[in-house]
């Protein structure tokens, strides 16, 4: 997911030799100034449309700078993450207004045979969320580790398929299928809904106009930035 800013240089074909000589450098400066302006506005928009976005999300818009040779500056959303899902994946539905892709946790559950085909995971009312409105990566890992261990115990034919110390289990309670957390003592055991399994892929409306923001800024500011860069380049050349 990216936007590239380029320059059509055909209108400079009849320019003076000095102008042509300085044009590639001036273009790269103008392109980079516009690209970083776009990045700043994209980051500001993330802060406006999402509630308490995580630091990874706020810093997910990056710039690949233009050079005199390339003549292209690129503004894009980070497509890698050291831990969890990459921003380009989880922001795509909000940018394009489409069905969201499977989360990494959902893929892991499917691989373990714990999430039925055609079902997706949403937060249960007893899920503990961080300030960004998400379950922490550490909690997801803990849940998945316990569920995998439980699944292994069940396959080995243990008397207790969920394991003696297991807190999390997959089950259906009062007709609701999901991941539950055991709570209470021996006399009053309860189960809290942490993650609920729902049929049908969740659909997101477009709320982060990444492309429209970038294109609007490029149209408004590139001519201005190019004029300023050319003036500086020519002035510098004359002093040499």
| Summary count for the chain: helices (H), strands (E) | 6, 7
Residues of the chain by 3-state class (helix, strand, coil), percent to 5: 45, 20, 35
Please state whether beta strands 73-77 and 61-64 pair in parallel, antiparallel, or not at all (unpaired): antiparallel
Q: If you write DSSP's letter for every residue of 135-174 in order, what string do you get?
A: --HHHHHHHHHHHHHHHHHHHTT-S-TT-TT--EEEEEET
Span of 27-36, 76-85, 160-169, 213-222 with lowest mean pLDDT: 160-169
Report pLDDT for 168: 93
Give the integer Cα–Cα distance in Å for 158 and 165: 14
The DSSP code for 103 is P
Query: Is the model's pTM score more than 0.85?
Result: no
184-200 pLDDT, tens digit each: 877 788 999 999 999 98
């Amino acid at each position: 997911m990216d936007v590239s800013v380029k320059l059509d240089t055909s209108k400079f074909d009849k320019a003076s030799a000095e102008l042509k000589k300085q044009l590639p450098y001036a273009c790269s400066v103008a392109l980079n100034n516009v690209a970083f302006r776009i990045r700043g506005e994209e980051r500001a928009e993330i802060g406006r449309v999402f509630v308490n976005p995580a630091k990874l999300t706020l810093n997910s818009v990056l710039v690949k700078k233009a050079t005199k040779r390339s003549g292209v500056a690129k503004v894009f959303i980070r497509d890698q993450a050291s831990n969890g899902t990459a921003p380009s994946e989880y922001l795509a539905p909000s940018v394009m207004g489409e069905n969201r892709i499977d989360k990494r946790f959902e893929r892991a559950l499917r691989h373990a045979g714990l999430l039925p085909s055609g079902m997706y995971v949403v937060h249960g009312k007893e899920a503990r969320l961080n300030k960004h409105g998400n379950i922490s990566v550490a909690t997801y890992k803990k849940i998945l580790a316990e569920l995998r261990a439980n699944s292994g115990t069940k396959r080995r034919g243990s008397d207790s398929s969920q394991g003696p110390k297991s807190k999390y289990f997959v089950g259906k309670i009062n007709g609701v299928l999901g991941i539950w957390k055991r709570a209470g003592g021996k006399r009053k055991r309860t189960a809290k809904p942490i993650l609920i399994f729902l049929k049908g892929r969740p659909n997101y409306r477009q709320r982060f106009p990444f492309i429209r923001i970038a294109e609007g800024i490029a149209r408004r500011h590139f001519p201005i930035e190019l004029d300023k860069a050319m003036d500086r380049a020519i002035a510098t050349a004359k002093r040499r």
